[in-house]
Amino acid sequence: MPKLKLTYFDFDGGRGEPVRLALVIAGLPFEDDRVKFNEWAARKPGTPFGALPVLQVDGAVISQSNTITRYVGKLTDLYPEDPWQAALCDEVMDAVEDLNGHIGSTISIGDPEAKKTAREALAAGPMSVHLVRLNAYLESRGGEYFADNRLTVADLKVYSLVAHLRSGVLDHIPADLVDRKAPLLVKHADRLLKHAKIAAYYKDR
Amino acid sequence: MPKLKLTYFDFDGGRGEPVRLALVIAGLPFEDDRVKFNEWAARKPGTPFGALPVLQVDGAVISQSNTITRYVGKLTDLYPEDPWQAALCDEVMDAVEDLNGHIGSTISIGDPEAKKTAREALAAGPMSVHLVRLNAYLESRGGEYFADNRLTVADLKVYSLVAHLRSGVLDHIPADLVDRKAPLLVKHADRLLKHAKIAAYYKDR
């Protein structure tokens, strides 16, 4: 196995968490390089595209959230080999990144009124559309997993989004939006938190 | 081979063009369902996430640009099998989607002054960062291809972006930005246009 170093912000969520969880589930050792928010401005220019996560693999660097998640998914056997199942997994991961991108673009809005307007439009628009669709996908695939009839990185990606939205940390995004629009995603997240490896990991942190 | 129907907007570019070009290069037949811009409002609710492209595969639907591009890349042997080379291919595709997302978010800005400000910030910020990085990646990988030492969907994705930016169709994005920031990408695009299958395709359209 290659030597892995994941660089991401110092919190249990966001675009880095699905990668950490995949490695935890598979029991693969990795260096968990956590960047404090006040260190970010200095470290940003050293990243390929001015963003985290970044993964070092035996010293070689790759970036982009879903690129890293997919690569680590292959290392940890949490990514489908069948091309169609891989596409179903990818589509879900890309849909989550759609929302991460929308959320990210509202974080930089300085004016409080403009931020409120943008967040409310996001919650009523793309966020609701995506949550409803992801809920329907999960239901149509049996209700438990998003692809390949087993745990894949798509599940970890959706879990991380759902946990973030339900935490209520994003002003003007109702903390109960997921519960109202996509109740199956709430059950899905609750099940993932009971996964033995994930439960043990969060208990120890 | 499955029966393929690609639905995308009626122009030779954007997020659908890399998929069309991959299918053209491989000589795989597909239905090229082109949506006129004045038809889009009526068709948008029928798409999984309110966006194009959408691909039907023997009647089953997948969406999300890079999901479709990767799946078709596998069908057409234009996607790396090796996981590390696949990651290098994915990273480039995701970086192009970063910029497509940024461009998309400026298209909906109604106020001309606000649009100008956003476009100029995009050109000076992420667009320049990404173009310079993609240029450096291409150079470090021999100057011809982005992954696997051969043509992959990453090349088609970058080509489509570069052609779009150089067309000058985006107000306040200088048409010579790519030439100034990423001259190797211009040569790369020129070479792709000379690919026998691509040249024949555009000659006939």
Smallest Cβ distance to B62: which of A63, A91, A129? A91
Helices and strands in chain B, H and E counts? 10, 4
Tell me if chain A has a CB within 8 Å of the CB of B75. Answer: yes
The pLDDT value given to residue B108 = 84
The pLDDT value given to residue B123 = 98
Report CA torsion sign: B41, A120, B125, B131. Answer: negative
Q: B55 - beta bridge partners? A: B6, B62
Residues B194, B195, B197, CA angle at the centre, nearest 5°? 125
Residues recorded for chain B = 205
Contact A197, A4 (CB under 8 A): no
Interval A182-190 mean pLDDT: 98
Q: What confidence category does residue A170 fall into, taking pLDDT thresholds of 50, 70 and 90? A: very high
A48 and A106 together in one domain: no
Residue of B nearest to A131 (CA): B49
A54 and A89 together in one domain: no
Residues of A in contact with B65 (CB under 8 A): 94
Residues of B in contact with A105 (CB under 8 A): 105
Measured between alpha carbons, how far is A86 from A81 in angstroms, rounded to an integer? 6
Calculate the alpha carbon distances from A177 to A124, A181, A182, A191, B138 in Å. Answer: 9, 6, 8, 19, 43
Interval A109-131 mean pLDDT: 96
Of B17-26, B106-115, B157-166, least confident by mean pLDDT is B106-115
The pLDDT value given to residue A108 = 84
The pLDDT value given to residue B151 = 98
CATH of the domain at A10: 3.40.30.10
Contact B161, B185 (CB under 8 A): no
Cβ separation B91–A50 shorter than 8 A: no
Q: What confidence category does residue A105 fall into, taking pLDDT thresholds of 50, 70 and 90? A: confident
The pLDDT value given to residue A138 = 98
B138 and B155 together in one domain: yes
Q: With a CB-CB cutoff of 8 Å, which residues 97-156 of chain A face chain B?
A: 98, 101, 105, 126, 129-130, 133
B135 and B153 together in one domain: yes
B73 and B110 together in one domain: no
B157 and B142 together in one domain: yes
A65 and A99 together in one domain: no
B87 and B181 together in one domain: yes
CB pairs under 8 A between A and B: 85
> What percent of chain B is modeled with pLDDT above 70?
100
Measured between alpha carbons, how far is B141 from A13 in angstroms, rounded to an integer? 33
The pLDDT value given to residue B105 = 87
pTM over 0.90: yes
CA distance A203 to chain B (A): 32
CATH of the domain at B133: 1.20.1050.10
B51 and B109 together in one domain: no
The pLDDT value given to residue A78 = 98
CA distance A160 to chain B (A): 19
Contact B156, B78 (CB under 8 A): yes
Interval A48-68 mean pLDDT: 98
Residues of A in contact with B49 (CB under 8 A): 95, 98, 126, 129-130, 133
The continuous run of DSSP H or E covering B35 comes out as: strand B31-35
For B52-79, the three-class secondary structure string (H helix, E strand, C coil) is CCEEEECCEEEECHHHHHHHHHHHCCCC
The pLDDT value given to residue B150 = 98
Tally the C-alpha atoms within 13 A of residue A82's C-alpha that lie toward its C-beta: 9
Residues of A in contact with B70 (CB under 8 A): 86-87, 90
A52 pLDDT more than 90: yes
Cβ separation B88–A62 shorter than 8 A: yes
For chain B, the average pLDDT equals 97
Smallest Cβ distance to A91: which of B63, B88, B133? B63
The pLDDT value given to residue A191 = 98
Interval A85-109 mean pLDDT: 95
Within 10 A of B2 (CB to CB), how many other CB atoms are there? 13
Interval A2-29 mean pLDDT: 97
Residues B116, B98, A125, CA angle at the centre, nearest 5°? 75
A96 and A187 together in one domain: yes
For chain A, the average pLDDT equals 97
Contact A1, A54 (CB under 8 A): no
Domain carrying residue A28 = 4-78+197-204
Interface test with A, best of B58, B67, B117 (most A CBs within 10 A): B67
Measured between alpha carbons, how far is A30 from A20 in angstroms, rounded to an integer? 9
Residue A117: both structure tokens together: 């307007």
The pLDDT value given to residue B67 = 98
The pLDDT value given to residue A205 = 86
CA distance B167 to chain A (A): 24
Contact B146, B88 (CB under 8 A): yes
Q: Which residues contact B32 (CB under 8 A, 6 or more apart)?
A: B6, B20
Residues recorded for chain A = 205
Tens-place pLDDT, residues A141-166? 999 999 999 999 999 999 999 999 99
Measured between alpha carbons, how far is B92 from B182 in angstroms, rounded to an integer? 14
Residues of A in contact with B84 (CB under 8 A): 57, 60, 71
Tokens 């057409």, residue? B76
ipTM: 0.97
A60 and A159 together in one domain: no
Counted domains in chain B: 2
Residues B103, B157, B95, CA angle at the centre, nearest 5°? 55
Interval B26-46 mean pLDDT: 97
User: Omega of the bond prior to A183 within 30 degrees of 0, cis?
Assistant: no
Residue B200: both structure tokens together: 């024949």
Which backbone phi and psi does B118 adopt, to 5 degrees?
-65, -40
Interval B166-172 mean pLDDT: 95
Residue A96: both structure tokens together: 């989550």
**E strands within A2-125?**
4-9, 31-35, 54-57, 60-63
B165 and B188 together in one domain: yes
CA distance B81 to chain A (A): 11
A81 pLDDT more than 90: yes
